[in-house]
Amino acid sequence: MDSNQRRFIEDALDLLNELDEGLLQLEANPHARAPLEQVFRTMHTIKGAANMFGFENIGTLAHHLETLFDYVRQQQMQVTDELISITLQAFDKVRDLLKETDIASITSSDALNEHTARAIEFHRMADATLNPGNGASALQKDELCTFSIDIVPTLPITEDGNHPLVFIIQDIAALGTALTRVMKDATGNVAKWELYVATTVSQEELESYFIFVDGDCTVAFRKLASQSLFDQPHFIAYIQSLGDAPADPHTLMSWAGQKIAAKAENNDSTDDEPMSSGRRKVLNDTYIKVNKDNIDNLLNWISELIILQARFANAAAAIDSVELKDATEELYRVTHQLRDTSLEIGLVPVETLVTKFKRLVRDLSKNLDKKVNFLSEGAETKVDKDVIELMADPMIHLIRNAIDHGIEKPSERRASGKAEHGTVKLKAFTAGSYVNITISDDGKGISKENVLRKAVEKGIVSKDALLSDDEILQLIFHSGLSTAATVSDVSGRGVGMDVVKQKIHELRGDVSIKSFPGEGTSVHIRLPMSRSIIEGLLIRIGSSEYILPLTAVDKCYEVSTANLTADHCQKVMLDGALVPVFYMQEIFNERGHRPSILQVIKIHHDGYPVGITVDMILGEYQTVLKPLGDAYQHQEEFSGATILGDGRVALVFDTNKLVKRLILQPTV
Amino acid sequence: MQPNTVTTQSYLTFRLGDESFAAHVTYVLEILEVTKITRVPRSPEYMRGVVNLRGNVLPVIDTRMKFGFDRIEDTVNTCIIVLNIESEKQKVTLGALVDSVQEVLDIESSRIQAPPTLGSKYRTEFIEGMVKEGDQFVMILNTSLVFSTDEVLMLREVTETNAVDA
């Protein structure tokens, strides 16, 4: 495989993702022009590049599929489920093929025969039905329009409430490309929704959605443009720039008008060259691909610079010079700015996963005969690329669970008074240096009785154990239980909930689950934004400093050393409860002087509190995690080490492994 | 025309107690002064801890302990030799704490003698050869093997153990 072919494979995999996204949009909105053009263009690019670099099999397949979509473009054919399905399946096969390692099997001419044949067959059938009318049957195409809909409820309704209006808004949003803004009043109820949707559905039809909630709200429709404004970044930027303020209708209308004029001009100038999309050009100009090693390297040097800067500041403090003091402060500012900027380089938006999930939801709901809407919120939230890659499988598992076990069949949903369409929602947001991801569904919830019964059957808990609802839900993550609850061909394969939890812990994250019968389940994941940046407490045990990740820390207490026995583990009363406390100075064989008062830090392990003693808490510390290397591979309780401001090394605890190890072999 | 070409190799020599050892310079990256070494709790005793090597974490092996010598306090002469060891397909960078670093010696290959198989206190697989330098023998170490093995070499007692094994 030469480097051009490798480049092609990388690019093609990106293009395939774009193609998926476009196809799914097209399926949701079969008359929309923008996704159709995008799909056609992407296929064309794949075809051209594939033929150029010797992947003729892929080129041939893309050619036949492209022909089909060309028919659609010329309005001789309609977008059907079948068309979308054969296209998706064909390109899935291409994607699998491209992941092969040896070039011979990728370019093998037989590999795509089946899919090519299907495309040709579909083509033939389409021709057969087309010819009698001889193309005269150009299909009536509904016009794609952008509407703004203002909905002011007259009842107190909360954003995530159960009022039908909430679902109607979601349903409308699912009709096309949409953006929803919610304005709340002082009590947290919704004051007004502003919904922007680009769809082929007519205004009358949109209005009919509100018939049943006529008395509960006032609705104002405005047609903004006879096209989708969502291809225009300015439009989205304008809406987003509004913050909480309501959009000014006049600005919106006049503004939209302007943009259309601009767009029309734009169209003229690009008409000669229909294959080069404005959007791709922008992408190519603003993004470059960088090897991950280079970024890691850069970060290493910058963390070294920060350490140097700290040393420099220490040394400068001893010299009485205003000039030097100013320079030191400036240096501090610049180095930290440099660090923040370079950290951001390695981050990618959660969005990269969303297309994958949309596909999953589509395929699964078709397989299982369920109606599911997938909503994502905060997809622009940025996370470390490694984290995203490692989280893909666990999140797929969670979504799969939500659809398979959570969302009911449409008939069941109707019977229990819910909308036929279930909703699976991915919500991501940043808090401090952590990223929060919630995956929720509005299905039937987890049956706690079933979980408890299974757990007792499997001997995970004893029959007469008294467990709180939360504790029962936590059992879901137990390895003996995860796959067993109800096995179907959908869940049960791939990773179990215990693996999901383990993966999240490996990333120094946290996961919790909430479920209400009949209302649904939500899984909440908290992850550090970056794998290499760690936020922790700097502590001292005996002669050495350590970092304890802040995620694990609950609370700190002071305990008189005289009250502790020399045992490695003992029960200590903290906040009125007996907590097992590990005497770290003893465990680490720190024989030196011990202060008269020790700090006990309460950390949580699997939801249970555990204390560890430390000599001193030196403060919060945000720093770069470095691997300890193979020499210390047996010291699992440390996830790595970090360099302190004065150049010394501090070890970083992996609290989960630490507690596990302390429990298993407290005396070692 | 010379029938024999003379090949010389460069070795860094260092001392542990009153004995001299040599490591091939290709393994040696640099020599550090001893700074504060952070101990890693619950690790083998010969693993002295970790130090900061320009922003990276460098594990430091106490070569005295590793070779079965008694532990002594660090002196001004104590140094860390940073070694690049390739073991089992991967590269490892580690520091070897030694009593003092001597010099870089160019040694003609013809001068290197095979390690004595009998009456030696060193296990032969760890010694590539020895060379007489002045009035003392310098042990040329099989550096990659010595520092990639997990065990304490126990150079001191080797003869006895070998005798028992045999």
Question: Is residue A206 very low, low, confident or very high in pLDDT (cuts 50, 70, 90)?
Answer: confident
User: Which ranges of chain B does DSSP label H, i.e. alpha helix?
Assistant: 63-66, 143-148, 158-165
pLDDT of residue B121: 64
**SS3 category, B121:** coil
Q: State the Cα–Cα distance between residues A540 and A532, nearest whole angstrom.
A: 22
pLDDT greater at residue A178 or residue B95: B95
Residues sharing a CB contact under 8 Å with residue B85, sequence separation 6 or more, in sequence order: B27, B91, B92, B93, B94, B143, B144, B147, B148
Question: Is residue A257 very low, low, confident or very high in pLDDT (cuts 50, 70, 90)?
Answer: low
pLDDT of residue A489: 45
pLDDT of A263 above 50? no
Cβ atoms of A445 and A406 within 8 Å: the answer is yes
SS3 for A610-648, per residue? EEEEECEEEEEEEEECECCCHHHCCCCCEEEEEECCCCC
Nearest alpha carbon to residue A181 among A170, A173, A193 = A193
pLDDT of residue A651: 93
B-chain residues near A303 (CB < 8 A): 55
| Inter-chain contacts counted by CB atoms under 8 A, chains A and B | 74
A-chain residues near B59 (CB < 8 A): 628-629, 631-632
pLDDT of residue B58: 92
- Are β-strands A422-431 and A434-441 bridged in parallel, bridged antiparallel, or unpaired? antiparallel
Give A602's DSSP letter.
Answer: E
pLDDT of residue A268: 42
What is the per-residue DSSP string for A125-172? HHHHHHGGGTT--PPP-PPPEEEEEEEEESS---TTS--HHHHHHHHH
Torsion-angle region of A542 (φ positive above 0: left; ψ -120 to 50: alpha; else: beta): left
Which residue in this structure is represented by tokens 């993966």? A503
Residue A313: is it exposed, middle or buried by C-beta count within 10 angstroms (0-12/13-18/19+)?
middle
Asked if the Cβ–Cβ distance from B55 to A587 is below 8 Å, we say: no
B-chain residues near A635 (CB < 8 A): 40-43
Q: What is the mean pLDDT of residues A510-535?
A: 85
Q: State the Cα–Cα distance between residues A625 and A198, nearest whole angstrom.
A: 46
Q: State the Cα–Cα distance between residues A275 and A516, nearest whole angstrom.
A: 51
Q: Closest chain B residue to A300 measured between Cα atoms?
A: B55
Q: What is the mean pLDDT of residues A454-466?
A: 79
Residue A143: is it exposed, middle or buried by C-beta count within 10 angstroms (0-12/13-18/19+)?
exposed
Give A607's DSSP letter.
Answer: T
pLDDT greater at residue A420 or residue A264: A420
Q: State the Cα–Cα distance between residues A628 and A15, nearest whole angstrom.
A: 38
pLDDT of residue B162: 41
Asked if the Cβ–Cβ distance from A648 to B36 is below 8 Å, we say: yes
pTM for the full predicted model: 0.58
Cβ atoms of A555 and A602 within 8 Å: the answer is yes
ipTM over 0.90: no
- Helix (H) / strand (E) element for A466: namely none
Domain residue spans in chain B?
A: 8-165
State what percent of residues in chain A have pLDDT above 70.
Answer: 88
Which amino acid would we find at residue A210?
F
Asked if the Cβ–Cβ distance from A648 to B35 is below 8 Å, we say: yes
Across the strands, what pairs with A100?
Answer: none
Q: What is the mean pLDDT of chain A?
A: 79
State what percent of residues in chain A have pLDDT above 90.
Answer: 9
Which residue in this structure is represented by tokens 């022009």? A33
Q: State the Cα–Cα distance between residues B94 and B28, nearest whole angstrom.
A: 10
Which amino acid would we find at residue A87?
T
Cα→Cα distances A181→A159, A270, A377, B148, Å: 11, 33, 12, 61
Which residue in this structure is represented by tokens 């039937």? A444
Q: State the Cα–Cα distance between residues A415 and A444, nearest whole angstrom.
A: 12
SS3 for A425-459, per residue? EEEEEEECCEEEEEEEECCCCCCHHHHHHHHHHCC
Tokens of A280: 């791709």
pLDDT of A484 above 50? no
- Chain A residues whose C-beta is within 8 A of a chain B C-beta are 300-301, 303-304, 307, 543-545, 587-589, 626-632, 634-635, 637-638, 640-641, 643, 647-651, 668
Report residues of chain B scoring pLDDT below 70: 1-4, 87-89, 117-123, 150-166
Tokens of A664: 């298993």
pLDDT digits (tens, 9 = 90+) for A546-566: 999 888 888 999 998 888 887
Question: Is residue A518 very low, low, confident or very high in pLDDT (cuts 50, 70, 90)?
Answer: confident
Q: Closest chain B residue to A544 measured between Cα atoms?
A: B38
Residues sharing a CB contact under 8 Å with residue A263, sequence separation 6 or more, in sequence order: A227, A232
pLDDT of A614 above 90? yes
User: Among the CATH numbers 1.10.1450.10, 3.40.50.720, 2.40.50.180, 3.40.190.10, which is that of B8-165?
Assistant: 2.40.50.180
Q: State the Cα–Cα distance between residues B122 and B139, nearest whole angstrom.
A: 9
Q: What is the mean pLDDT of residues A419-441?
A: 88
Angle, helix A113-130 to helix A56-73, in steps of 10 degrees: 20
Nearest alpha carbon to residue A221 among A243, A206, A200, A211 = A206
pLDDT of A602 above 70? yes
Closest CB to A668 among B36, B42, B61: B42
Distance from the first to the final alpha carbon of chain A: 52
Cα→Cα distances A268→A261, A265, A275, Å: 11, 5, 14
**What's the gap in Å between the CA of B81 and the closest CA on chain A?**
16
- Are β-strands B19-24 and B8-16 bridged in parallel, bridged antiparallel, or unpaired? antiparallel
pLDDT of residue A538: 92
Q: State the Cα–Cα distance between residues A615 and A594, nearest whole angstrom.
A: 7
pLDDT of residue A278: 40
pLDDT digits (tens, 9 = 90+) for A118-176: 888 888 877 777 654 444 333 344 567 788 888 888 878 877 777 778 877 877 877 77
B-chain residues near A651 (CB < 8 A): 38, 40, 50
Across the strands, what pairs with A438?
Answer: A427, A524
Q: State the Cα–Cα distance between residues A522 and A468, nearest whole angstrom.
A: 18
Q: State the Cα–Cα distance between residues A629 and A622, nearest whole angstrom.
A: 21
**SS3 category, A290:** coil
Long-range (24+ apart) CB contacts under 8 A made by A559-568 are A559/A597, A559/A598, A559/A599, A559/A600, A559/A613, A560/A596, A560/A597, A560/A598, A561/A594, A561/A595, A561/A596, A561/A597, A561/A598, A562/A596, A564/A598, A564/A613, A568/A662, A568/A666, A568/A667
Beta strands across the sheet bearing B56-62? B28-33, B79-87, B90-98, B56-62, B47-53
pLDDT of residue A493: 43
pLDDT of residue B89: 62
Q: Is the dihedral of CA A96, A102, A107, A111 positive or negative?
A: negative
**What's the gap in Å between the CA of A499 and the closest CA on chain B?**
28
pLDDT of A427 above 90? yes
**What's the gap in Å between the CA of A660 and the closest CA on chain B?**
15
- Are β-strands A520-528 and A434-441 bridged in parallel, bridged antiparallel, or unpaired? antiparallel
B-chain residues near A627 (CB < 8 A): 57
Asked if the Cβ–Cβ distance from A634 to B55 is below 8 Å, we say: no
Cβ atoms of A629 and A640 within 8 Å: the answer is no
pLDDT of residue B118: 62
Asked if the Cβ–Cβ distance from B38 to A301 is below 8 Å, we say: no
